């Protein structure tokens, strides 16, 4: 009976510590690597499932199994569990870090998220940009084919011009092109209370401001709307509305 009680206490202590660590890690992700809507847009929860299972569930369960007061190898057993949890956290953090949004590139009629792991990100010409932020994506315009020959080469060689670093330019020089693809806010048709709330909040916060509304395509199929200020081409905000499903064309 005492053994079960000791095991239960050890399990609860380990569980509380694990939950605290995971919560701190999630807070860090939202504050630095996946700010604003990117945690939701990139569906980071999907990638965290295994990490949470290992760190917040499996670890405490192993502690419950091996814990026995007075056991000679207890320190070694608990240390091994802690190391395994730490390695899982480091590995998961490494993957999530390299999948963080590093560039929002305007391609055709939308912005597309380019992950930090994309080779194009490291090759962006510094002469065109003020430098890439550690925790917030750069905003670029991907220059499409400028001739029939170039367009044909892209098609036959299956080349995505957004993946060519030299073709990225500051959007301030191409704001007129972005304007051609801008969505009409009156044609946004939110289909959920969450979408409606996001739309109304944006309308309230953006009064008397001139902006462009454009689709923002995530790396995993999710999409939302990004608002670009016409005056300085900075990001004015985001609307949690799917432009492909909640827009009346």
Q: What is the mean pLDDT of each run of 10 residues along the chain (249 residues)?
A: 82 93 94 93 88 86 89 90 92 93 94 94 70 69 87 83 90 94 97 97 95 97 96 94 95
Last residue of a domain, one of 79, 99, 119: 99
pLDDT at res. 129: 61
Residues 63 and 123 in one domain: no
**Domain extent at residue 229:** 101-239
Residue 127: predicted pLDDT: 55
Task: Kindly state whether residues 116 and 92 are assigned to the same domain.
Answer: no
| Structural domain contains residue 135 | yes
Q: Do 33 and 78 share a domain, yes or no?
A: yes
Same domain, 140 and 22: no
- Write down the pLDDT at residue 135: 52
Q: Are residues 129 and 24 in the same domain?
A: no
Domain boundary among 99, 130, 155: 99
pTM reported for the whole predicted model: 0.88
Show the CA angle centred on residue 185, arms to residues 249 and 210, nearest 5°.
135
Alpha helices in 30-166 (DSSP H): 38-41, 44-52, 59-66, 74-98, 119-122, 148-156
Residues 26/39, Cβ–Cβ less than 8 Å: no
Judgement on whether residues 92 and 111 belong to the same structural domain of the protein: no
If phi over 0 gives left and psi between -120 and 50 gives alpha, with beta otherwise, what is residue 207? Answer: beta
| 158 and 49 belong to one structural domain | no
Spatial strand order of the sheet with 110-115 comes to: 168-170, 138-142, 101-107, 110-115, 211-217, 223-229, 235-239
Tokens of 208: 């008397």
> So what's the pLDDT on residue 157?
82
Q: Are residues 89 and 129 in the same domain?
A: no
249 is a domain residue:
no
**Total domain count, the chain:** 2
Does residue 194 lie within any of the structural domains? Answer: yes
Q: Where does a domain end: 61, 84, 99?
A: 99
Residues 75, 105, single domain; the answer is no
């Amino acid at each position: 009976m005492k053994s079960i009680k000791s095991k239960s206490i050890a399990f609860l202590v380990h569980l509380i510590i694990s939950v605290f660590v995971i919560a701190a890690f999630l807070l860090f992700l939202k504050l630095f690597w996946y700010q604003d809507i990117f945690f939701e847009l990139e569906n980071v929860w999907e990638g965290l499932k295994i990490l949470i299972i290992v760190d917040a569930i499996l670890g405490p369960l192993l502690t419950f199994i091996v814990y026995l007061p007075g056991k000679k190898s207890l320190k070694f057993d608990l240390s091994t569990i802690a190391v395994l949890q730490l390695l899982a956290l480091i590995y998961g953090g490494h993957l999530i870090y390299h999948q963080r949004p590093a560039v929002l590139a305007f391609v055709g009629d939308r912005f597309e998220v380019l992950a930090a792991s994309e080779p194009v990100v490291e090759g962006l010409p510094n002469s065109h940009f003020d430098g890439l932020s550690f925790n917030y994506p750069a905003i670029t315009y991907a220059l499409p084919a400028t001739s029939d020959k170039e367009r044909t080469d892209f098609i036959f060689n299956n080349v995505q011009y957004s993946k060519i670093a030299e073709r990225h330019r500051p959007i301030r020089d191409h704001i007129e092109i972005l304007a051609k693809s801008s969505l009409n806010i009156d044609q946004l048709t939110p289909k959920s209370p969450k979408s409606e709330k996001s739309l109304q909040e944006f309308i309230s916060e953006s009064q008397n401001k001139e902006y462009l509304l454009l689709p923002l395509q995530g790396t995993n199929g999710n999409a939302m709307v990004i608002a670009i200020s016409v005056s300085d081409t900075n990001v004015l905000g985001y609307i949690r509305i799917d432009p492909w499903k909640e827009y009346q064309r």
